[in-house]
Chain A
Amino acid sequence: MYWEESRECMNREDLEQLQLERLQSTIYRVATHVPFYRKRFKEIGLDPDGFRSLGELSSLPFTVKDDLRQNYPYGLFAVPLRDVVRIHSSSGTTGMATVVGYTRNDIKNWSNLVARVLTAAGVTKDDVIQIAFGYGLFTGGFGLHYGAERLGASVIPISSGNTKRQIQIMQDFKTTALVCTPSYALMIADTMLDMGINVNGLSLKWGLFGAEPWSEAMRTEINNKLNITATDNYGLSEVMGPGVAGECLECNGLHINEDHFLFEIINPNTLKPVEPGEVGELVVTTLTKEAFPVIRYRTRDLTRLITEPCGCGRTNYRMTRILGRTDDMLIIKGVNVFPTQIENVLFEIEGTEPHYRIVVERENHQDKATVLVEVVESIFFDEMKKQRQLVDKIKKQLASELGVSVDVKLVEEKTLERFEGKGQRVIDKREL
């Protein structure tokens, strides 16, 4: 099922023509209407009328979160405020808030793109969709809401919080699709368990989760606990909000709405594009936004592009789920290493617990990384040989995944400190 087959299944050549046309007109508009971009272009001697191919994208300057802050509140708007029909803002948990705006057309496109994501994830107009994202300045609630309405589903705008009431409504209103963060989905599941509610008695079929990074293991857990098909979707308010990319029912990467957003993956240190298929920082350029276009916005999210064809028939490229944030990235012997990569390897190996620490030191001017892994108790009762084998196995798989060799030490269960919320799993002892 497609929402807009002609756009989701385009051949590459036609897509690139469309992207070029839209990009050229976006560059024209930002250069004409946004002093910030005009100044930036002038500084680097870029002629906005000279842009001729998508290959020249890397000649354009980056935009970063701080640029948004410095132009607070309306400095980066490309239309007068009277053309803006909606204003959203990021909470500013990591600094000053940022503000984004939407014209009537932007809202229309947004709704449409979210409808694509919903359709790809299995939702149809016959579904009853419970939107447990916060409604307000955060883009999640309204973004999904408008998309679901556009699709024609029956929308329950319950917003976030009050878990027992969520469950009550889910039962009474016969909700078939749940929209929230993956962690909240788990909380709902656990609360139901506590309340002694039989999940099989629910009408729930689909779960669309986003707004925070999660893992394949978490998906399995949610699917099992709620008896649904959970999919991942991606977006960020600086670019639009939800609807930038979403998973289809193959559940193997998120299809990017490439006719509206241009994706690049760069190495966050060199700022150069990575080799095709490599992990790096996602950089997004909007192609159709009227009120708040952005050129090469550095998302700080880490992902990788999947260009292989997908079983669902959509030709739009996919991105993997968000693998982490550039802020978490480590450089060991010049190689970029992300804690989530290590987590994934450990998750695959039997006998290990998903608790670990990465200690990075410098010995004789050489980086040395050691991964401390908790293992199940029984391993320590086994012969030394078995322990050695396990260490070798982990080492080998880590080396192949990371592209750099690291040491591995096994530690007993529950010896590593536990975290509530965001953990600090990296201990960097290097003095640089």
Chain B
Amino acid sequence: MLKVRNLEAGYGKLRVLKRISMHIDPGEIVTIIGANGAGKTTLLHTISGLVKVSSGEILFKNNDLRRITPEKTVAAGCSLVPEGRLVFSTMTVEENLILGGYILAKKKKGAVDDEICRVYELFPVLKERARQLAGTLSGGEQQMLAMGRALMAKPSLIMMDEPSTGLAPLIVKSIFKVIQQLREEGNTVLLVEQNAKAALGIADRGYVLETGKIILQGVADDLLQNRDVQRAYLGREMDE
């Protein structure tokens, strides 16, 4: 579905991503783990078209995403759930969702409403809060709203940037459950996480990003077993 080859990108003269190669097959949950500042968010932003590509390739369903604007990336079926949710806090929950479905509005009448129903099914709590201002929601609910908003565009690939940030462990658990549920419904998920253990726990495969480079990749279970990953990201010491 998504193929990234030798991707390099950065800000001004600062090269953040160094020769990144990765891919996602349909129906997979793939996670990118790494420390703060490793380049995880930059990678998602580059795929989304928010950061310019310096070199390399991004193929999404065989379309070249390199020179495409963020809105066209969404139209192509690739949506981002940004870090820190970034919901429109002065708008209601439902208005947030309608905005997320803006590309559907042009296509077919009633499509937006159908999609809102689907999102409410997935996140019943959002239905309860439909008329509430998004800014009044709890952190976990805002995360669900951000995910719901991204799903409104009916993406074939949904990219999530640190969905667990700032959430209580119990809420994180339920968010990750939803991600698994999304996959069971046939969605494909690219999950960027600092919480390596939780992310590898639900992912099929993973990539380890360190100072802009992918230093390890593999099946999620293998990465959980890898001693370097354990030492660096799972907080397990060698004398375990």
Contacts and interface: CB of A to CB of B under 8 A. Distances in A.
Do A and B form a real pair?
Answer: yes
Interface of A: 14, 17-18, 20-22, 24-25, 28-29, 32, 49-50, 52-53, 79, 82-83, 103-105, 108-109, 288, 290
Nearest to A109: B222
B227 to A, nearest CB: 5
B22 A14 contact: no
Which residue, of A14, A22, A103, A105, has the highest number of chain B Cβ atoms within 10 A?
A105
Interface residues on B, range: 20 to 34
A288 B218 contact: yes
Nearest to B226: A105
B225 A18 contact: no
B213 interface: yes
A82 B238 contact: yes
A24 B56 CA distance: 14
Tell me the dominant secondary structure on chain B's binding face: strand
Interface in B207-240: 213-218, 222, 225-228, 238
A349 B6 CA distance: 54
A21 B214 contact: yes
B180 interface: no
B5 A17 contact: yes
Given A14-B25, A25-B217, 4 more contacts: A20-B5, A28-B213, A79-B228, A105-B225
A21 B215 contact: no
Which residue, of A18, A21, A103, has the highest number of chain B Cβ atoms within 10 A?
A21
Nearest to A288: B218
B19 A49 contact: yes
A22 B205 CA distance: 13
14 contacts: A14-B25, A17-B21, A21-B22, A21-B23, A22-B217, A24-B214, A49-B18, A52-B19, A53-B6, A79-B228, A83-B227, A103-B227, A105-B222, A288-B218
Given A25-B216, A29-B215, A18 B23 contact: yes
Interface of B: 3, 5-6, 18-19, 21-23, 25, 213-218, 222, 225-228, 238
Nearest to A105: B222
Contacts of A21: 21-23, 214, 217
A31 to B, nearest CB: 11
Given A28-B213, A28-B215, A104-B225, A20 B21 contact: yes
A50 B18 CA distance: 9
A49 B217 contact: no
Nearest to B215: A28
B194 to A, nearest CB: 21
Nearest to A23: B21
A108 B220 CA distance: 13
Contacts of B238: 82
A20 B19 CA distance: 11
Contacts of A49: 18-19, 213
Contact of B19 (A17, A18, A24, A290): A24
Nearest to A290: B226
A253 B182 CA distance: 42
A24 B227 contact: no
Nearest to B239: A82
| Shortest Cβ-Cβ A-B pairs, 9 listed | A83-B227, A21-B21, A105-B222, A52-B6, A17-B23, A105-B225, A17-B3, A25-B217, A104-B225
B19 A79 contact: no
A11 to B, nearest CB: 11
A105 B216 CA distance: 13
Contacts of B225: 104-105, 108
Contacts of A288: 218
